[in-house]
Amino acid sequence: MCGIVGYIGNEEAVPVLLNGLKRLEYRGYDSAGIAVLGQAGLLVRKSKGALPSLEDKIASETGQGGLNAVMGIGHTRWATHGEPSDINSHPHTDVSGKIAVVHNGIIENHAKLKAWLEAHGVVFRSETDTEVVAHLIDFHYNGDLLQAVTEALKRLEGSYALGIICESDPDRIIAVRKESPLVVGAGQGENLIASDVPALLEHTRDVYYLADREIAVLYRDRVEFFNEDGQSLQKEKSHVDWDAEAAEKGGYEHFMLKEINEQPKALTDTLRARLKNEGGTSINLEEIGFDASWAEARRVVIAACGTAWHAGVIGKHAFEYFAQIPADAEIASEYRYRNPLSDPKDIFIIISQSGETADTLAAMRMARKAGARIIAITNVVGSTLAREADLVMYTWAGPEIAVASTKAFTTQLMCVYLIALQFGMLRGVIAKNELTSHIEALEQLSGHATRILSAQENIQRFASRQFNKTKVFFMGRLFDYAVSLESALKLKEVSYTHSEAFAAGELKHGPIALVDTSTLVVAICTQTALFDKMDSNIKEVKARGAAALVITYDGVDYFDKTADEVFRIPRTEDSLTPILSVIPCQLYAYYCAVQRGLDPDKPRNLAKSVTVE
């Protein structure tokens, strides 16, 4: 996720901005830039890569790292629209180079705005969605930057945190946010903005938290606030007591917990980026090059590793269910050494959070050799996977820092569902009205996830009683079995508990021999037609002394008598439940790790990106 800083005061701005950006490095980024206003007017410096390359660029010019300016804005970019490059890095400016903008978020209607601005003679330089903001402000600029910003905001759809400076209005920074974070730091004779508190702490602990659509105007000696219509607002100052490390985690104890809690937003961002509203809401994959020809496939093969493979297993079910097309989910490290019978009419979907996993890339290259067409689902713009695939669908999860994947998984699922539904539409399996109701169900998932997260203390309490269990088995059927696989992996990874996943019907074919009084069985029960089967399986493990936690829908009392504890999730379509039912399991893994005194963010022996075999 991008990082924003802004400074107006009496110090040389460049080191202040670079230092602030360093404090935001934990958010992940692929390029960085600053714009400062000083004696030489508006100067913009940006560079692909880590902050030292930007520092070197500035130092090679000035020799001492300053540009004689006491105000400016800075940005670390996590690429979304357009590859990491000097040109796509922020700040972006208007055509004349007098207005500079840094942005975090997604301007959803950027394509329309771009076409409109181009029709007014604007020539774009970058591939970013952000550049439209600079041109739009310039379009409305009539000597008053604040007014130009409020006018421009009326045209923007999507999410944004923005920092804006203007050469002809040199004594203030304008900042505004909607659905992306931005804090204002109130110092002595200096004021700052930042995406997150750590970037402010060296200057001040007094902050203002902006609400959606609130505008802050920062002068050296004061900050003024306005609503989106330009009316003045009074805001309460808050004092930050956290240390810098806690602040990086947004007040959460660990990145893993932060990322679990970021899922509602990540789901909304991933979904919104792929919907269009033209005579009713529909799925927009044309933008990424997915046309009707893709749906002529003979079979869909999904290849991935670890958590991403679990998303693939759910994808297999989704393709069979929504699109009635044969589908397989392949473990990439196995696939690459088999002699698979693939056909040029197969479509490969390769899933990888990092886009750099060695086995996954090898599987993709094999598929490519066999003549198959390839769709990548990844979280990293410009990754090897993104570059080599025919078509890329990005997850909008933002950088995932904890080694254990959480928000990347649920956003991968969102992508898989969207592709499966679009396949279903193009193959004539899903009628228009059915698609509308599936999309509505997808839109509700973010709110449902928020509700699950609001009850996380229940899982925490359960974990505090059960964390010492030496054997934890997850079981379910169909979609619930796939979630069991992911849940068992999560628990293994972060709490080092021996956990396994079983297809519930397989229990009596062997695994039940392991069940005794030391076993906890988590039964995921969201496949309504199979409730009675699951109930029998729970009774079987209970009869052998196991404790049973059931995860099922709100309002379902079917398992109340059988289970020791029931955790409920909001009702959705049975085929979409994985996005929800995995959340309590992620939380359970997290809280077990914490109870065991482990650091869930850095599990032993594991790496975030497995780039070697």
Binding footprint of ligand AGP on the chain (CB under 6 A):
305-308, 352-354, 357, 360, 403-405, 493, 606, 609-610
The angle that helices 479-495 and 306-318 make with each other, rounded to 10 degrees, is 170
Phi, psi of 319 (to 5 degrees): -65, -40
One-letter amino acid for residue 220 of the chain: R
Rounded to the nearest whole angstrom, what is the least distance from the CB of residue 613 to ligand AGP in the complex?
12
**Cα(21)–Cα(198) distance, integer angstroms:** 10
Rounded to whole angstroms, what are the CA distances from 463 to 466, 474, 511? 5, 15, 24
* CB-CB contact of 165 with 173 (8 Å): yes
DSSP 91: P
Rounded to the nearest whole angstrom, what is the least distance from the CB of residue 301 to ligand AGP in the complex?
16
Active-site annotation holder among 492, 533, 542, 608: 608
Beta-carbon contacts of 60 under 8 Å, excluding residues fewer than 6 positions away, are none
Closest CA to 365 of 408, 332, 404, 401: 332
For the question of residue 305 being annotated catalytic, the response is no
Residue nearest to ligand AGP (CB): 306
Sign of dihedral through CA atoms 536, 541, 547, 551? negative
Closest CA to 192 of 142, 177, 183: 183
Nearer to ligand AGP, 529 or 612 (CB): 612
Rounded to the nearest whole angstrom, what is the least distance from the CB of residue 546 to ligand AGP in the complex?
26
Nearer to ligand AGP, 488 or 525 (CB): 488
Nearer to ligand AGP, 331 or 548 (CB): 331
Rounded to the nearest whole angstrom, what is the least distance from the CB of residue 609 to ligand AGP in the complex?
6
Nearer to ligand AGP, 150 or 307 (CB): 307
**Cα(29)–Cα(77) distance, integer angstroms:** 5
**Cα(569)–Cα(580) distance, integer angstroms:** 7
**Cα(236)–Cα(409) distance, integer angstroms:** 38
Instruction: Give the DSSP H or E segment for 584.
Output: helix 578-595
Nearer to ligand AGP, 405 or 497 (CB): 405
Nearer to ligand AGP, 441 or 610 (CB): 610
Rounded to the nearest whole angstrom, what is the least distance from the CB of residue 490 to ligand AGP in the complex?
7
Active-site annotation holder among 2, 305, 525, 592: 2
584 prior amide bond cis, ω within 30: no
**Cα(68)–Cα(138) distance, integer angstroms:** 25
Nearer to ligand AGP, 128 or 357 (CB): 357
Ranges of H-type helices in 63-100: none
**Cα(592)–Cα(474) distance, integer angstroms:** 15
The angle that helices 407-426 and 263-272 make with each other, rounded to 10 degrees, is 30
Rounded to the nearest whole angstrom, what is the least distance from the CB of residue 306 to ligand AGP in the complex?
2
Nearer to ligand AGP, 403 or 530 (CB): 403
For the question of residue 585 being annotated catalytic, the response is no
Rounded to the nearest whole angstrom, what is the least distance from the CB of residue 360 to ligand AGP in the complex?
5
Q: Which residue has the tokens 């399996």?
A: 429
Rounded to the nearest whole angstrom, what is the least distance from the CB of residue 404 to ligand AGP in the complex?
4
Rounded to the nearest whole angstrom, what is the least distance from the CB of residue 288 to ligand AGP in the complex?
19
* CB-CB contact of 464 with 587 (8 Å): no
Nearer to ligand AGP, 34 or 314 (CB): 314
HEC secondary structure over 358-404: HHHHHHHHHHHHCCCEEEEEECCCCCHHHHHCCEEEECCCCCCCCCC
3-state SS class at 156: coil
**Cα(127)–Cα(114) distance, integer angstroms:** 10
* CB-CB contact of 86 with 139 (8 Å): no
Residues classed as catalytic: 2, 608
